[in-house]
């Protein structure tokens, strides 16, 4: 985002209000990323409403710790677990997790960069992100894929409040990745908490992040590895 656009957004905020200006900026971002053609009008309206709601006041520094809401049209199942080990194991070694998607546990010494991936990130990397207070959105849409659903979730992520501990280059502690080990279409993980879903539920997916981000055993938003754009552990 250019300095000129940021200055324009600041002037716009003073004239029409911060929430309206950020909502407009979100719309422009979607257009620039060519997501508008992939997101249904009703979904877009919901996302714009979420963006406006999340723009009031300073961004939160961590999740609320509120309980997740199961049920709904996507048959959301939520789970929690305590006393998870934080052991480091050798990179690319096989790890058996107690939950699917994982809620935490042993992981590799290096963590994945907070970003979206088109290839599966091996779980041992992104479980380390959970330890740092990150939230991971994972999906298994084989064999037909789910590009439209991924576009919806990406737009929802882009509308989340920015994490004050993170950099402008990576403003949220979020990973979005395919996961062939997932036994349901969508999974969401934070340290000690999980959500699984048969389809995309934007409100519950967003609420999960707002409930749990930055609440891991280690409160860090340091850069991780992006694997050079190649699938790790192959």
Q: Assess whether pLDDT exceeds 80 at residue 13.
A: no
Domain that holds residue 195: 64-229
- Distance between CA 157 and CA 31 in Å, rounded? 15
Give a yes or no: residue 101 inside a domain.
Answer: yes
Q: Residue 30's pLDDT is what?
A: 45
**Burial status of residue 11 (CB atoms within 10 A of its CB: 0-12, 13-18, 19 or more):** exposed
In a domain, 24, yes or no: no
In a domain, residue 17? The reply is no
- Would you say residue 222 lies in a domain? yes
Confidence at residue 92, expressed as pLDDT on a 0 to 100 scale? 98
Residue 59 domain flag: no
Contact in structure between 225 and 176 (CB atoms under 8 Å): no
Is position 53 within any domain?
no
> What's the rounded mean pLDDT across residues 154-168?
97
Q: What pLDDT band is residue 60 in, cutting at 50, 70 and 90?
A: confident
Domain count across the chain? 1
In a domain, 81, yes or no: yes
Share of residues in the chain with pLDDT > 90 (%)? 74
DSSP structure class, residue 68: P
**Within a domain: residue 113?**
yes
Q: Say if residue 101 is preceded by a cis peptide, omega within 30 of 0.
A: yes
The highest-confidence range among 15-19, 21-25, 75-79, by mean pLDDT, is 75-79
Residue 192 has pLDDT above 90, yes or no: yes
Mean pLDDT (whole number) for 137-164: 97
């Amino acid at each position: 985002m250019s300095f000129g656009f940021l200055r324009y957004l600041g002037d716009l905020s003073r004239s029409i209000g911060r929430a309206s200006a950020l909502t407009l900026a979100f719309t422009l971002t979607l257009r620039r990323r060519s997501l508008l053609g992939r997101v249904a009008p009703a979904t877009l309206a919901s996302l714009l409403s979420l963006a406006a709601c999340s723009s009031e006041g300073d961004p939160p520094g961590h999740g609320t710790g509120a309980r997740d809401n199961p049920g709904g049209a996507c048959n959301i199942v939520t789970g929690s677990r305590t006393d998870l080990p934080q052991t480091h194991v050798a990179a690319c070694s096989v790890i058996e997790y107690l939950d699917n998607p994982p809620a935490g546990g042993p992981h590799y010494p290096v963590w994945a960069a907070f970003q979206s991936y088109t290839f599966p990130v091996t779980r041992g990397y992104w479980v380390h992100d959970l330890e740092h207070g990150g939230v991971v959105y994972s999906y298994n849409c084989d064999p037909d894929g789910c590009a439209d659903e991924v576009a919806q979730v990406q737009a929802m992520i882009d509308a989340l409040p920015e994490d004050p501990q993170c950099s402008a280059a990576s403003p949220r502690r979020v990973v979005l990745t395919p996961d062939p080990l997932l036994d349901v279409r969508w999974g969401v993980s934070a340290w000690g908490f999980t959500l699984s879903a048969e389809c995309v539920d934007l409100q519950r997916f967003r609420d999960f992040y707002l409930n749990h981000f930055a609440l891991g055993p280690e409160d860090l938003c340091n850069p991780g590895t992006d694997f050079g754009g190649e699938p790790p552990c192959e």
